[in-house]
Amino acid sequence: MRADLALIGFGHVGRRFARLLEERRDWLALDYELDCRVIGIATAHNGCIFRAQGIDAVAAADRQGSDALDADAAAPADSFGVIRRLAGSDSPLKIVVETTTLDIAAGQPAIDHVRAALESGCHVVTANKGPAAFAYEELSALAADRGVSFLFEGAVMDGVPIFNLVRETLPAVDILGFRGVINSTTNHILSAIEDGESFDGALARMQADGIAEADPSLDVDGWDAAAKTAALANVLMRARMTPQAVDREGIEQTTARLAMAAKGRGARVRLVASAKRTAGGVATSVRPIELPESDLLAGLRGVANALILQTDVLGEIAMTQLAGGLTQTAYALLSDLVTVGRRHRQARSGAAPDRSR
Ligand SMILES: NC(=O)c1ccc[n+]([C@@H]2O[C@H](COP(=O)([O-])OP(=O)(O)OC[C@H]3O[C@@H](n4cnc5c(N)ncnc54)[C@H](OP(=O)(O)O)[C@@H]3O)[C@@H](O)[C@H]2O)c1
């Protein structure tokens, strides 16, 4: 089955996804009968492109800057133009892959991209935290209404299948809460400090490795973790919140001193994201917490992440990622793409749609 894709955002993640799509082309065709073509690409500063016959997205990913897209006079003016052209294509399966930069104040432009795509009957897969953190209820209802998918596995812990795990393998289980270390940059800084490195030196290394957000204050001040916490709470616990509602405290130079003092006592300081169901709804927080060495989260070093789900039937379930990155995030998009294809086949065969999380 042919699937036509528009890549909205073509930075680190979008380019890695374009390459992974090519690397897994035979696999997608053989195991999932998916013949994927990229027919549109949109960026903020380097133009847009749409070619109904298909684009060599790997060649575009290999090129740099304003020449990357080789745009022509007929190119759409902006990302919404690319989405409209995709929606008008004759493919049986139209998928918007959204990987734009996150504006933490409002979750844009991703929310508008996702809304426009769903309204025009396109499926959406995204690695952006914004849509699930700010507008999950509205967008998931819109997707259900239009009979399309809205999937965002890459938004939290790169390729670790958190949302898929709960949706696909934990039927009739209530998620009562969670706690985790879900920001790689701050965990790297805290564990580097324990090894004697300076706060600024550890942060500079994360920026050089492309792991820190473009604006590193988003990591250090806890905003990235707060956005992921809101997304997890909205999807897994049916909260209705935004990152601004998370009780948030980041890490700073004083946290570095606390981390050293804790180490002297045989403990560890980690930036812990947590959520708990309360009588009034869902209480969430992101803050540095001193943990005993025996705590699973205390043992996470460097860019390792972990999430512990508290459930009513199964007790605690922990997921750990020792080292995430662009490939894992691109894989999350690819796995969501396969889910879209599977659901489409089920719908064609007349099976009832799955209405779970
Ligand atoms: N990097 C990671 O490891 C990682 C992991 C998990 C999730 N994520 C999330 O994935 C998303 C992408 O991350 P990234 O590292 O690929 O970011 P990036 O390298 O900064 O790329 C962002 C892309 O979005 C484009 N863009 C921004 N605003 C746009 C708009 N209004 N219309 C069209 N295109 C627009 C940019 O265009 P220009 O190039 O022209 O500016 C660029 O191509 C972010 O939301 C991030 O939080 C990233």
Residue 33 CA, ligand 1 centroid: distance in Å: 29
3 state SS of 106:
coil
At 155-211, the pLDDT tens digits run: 999 989 999 999 999 999 999 999 999 999 999 999 999 999 999 998 888 888 777
At 114-132, the pLDDT tens digits run: 999 999 999 999 999 999 9
Q: Is the pLDDT of residue 356 over 70?
A: no
Q: Pick from 48, 66, 99 the residue to mutate for probing ligand 1's pocket: most ligand atoms within 8 Å of its CB.
A: 99
Query: Do 270 and 181 meet the contact criterion of CB atoms below 8 Å apart?
Result: yes
0.85 surpassed by pTM: yes
Domains of the chain are 2-159+327-348 (3.40.50.720), 169-323 (3.30.360.10)
Instruction: Give yes or no for residue 355 CB within 6 A of ligand 1.
Output: no
Active-site amino acid positions: 228
* Nearest residue to 126 via CA among 90, 87, 83: 83
Q: Pick from 84, 101, 114, 125 the residue to mutate for probing ligand 1's pocket: most ligand atoms within 8 Å of its CB.
A: 101
Residue 257 to residue 191: CA distance in whole angstroms: 12
Characterize 229-258 residue by residue with b for buried, 16 or more Cβ atoms within 10 angstroms of its Cβ, and e for exposed.
bbbbbbbbbebebbbebbebebbeeebbeb
Instruction: Give yes or no for residue 328 CB within 6 A of ligand 1.
Output: no
Instruction: Give yes or no for residue 272 CB within 6 A of ligand 1.
Output: no
Instruction: Give yes or no for residue 12 CB within 6 A of ligand 1.
Output: yes
Strand order in the sheet with 305-311: 247-248, 281-292, 267-278, 175-181, 305-311, 316-321
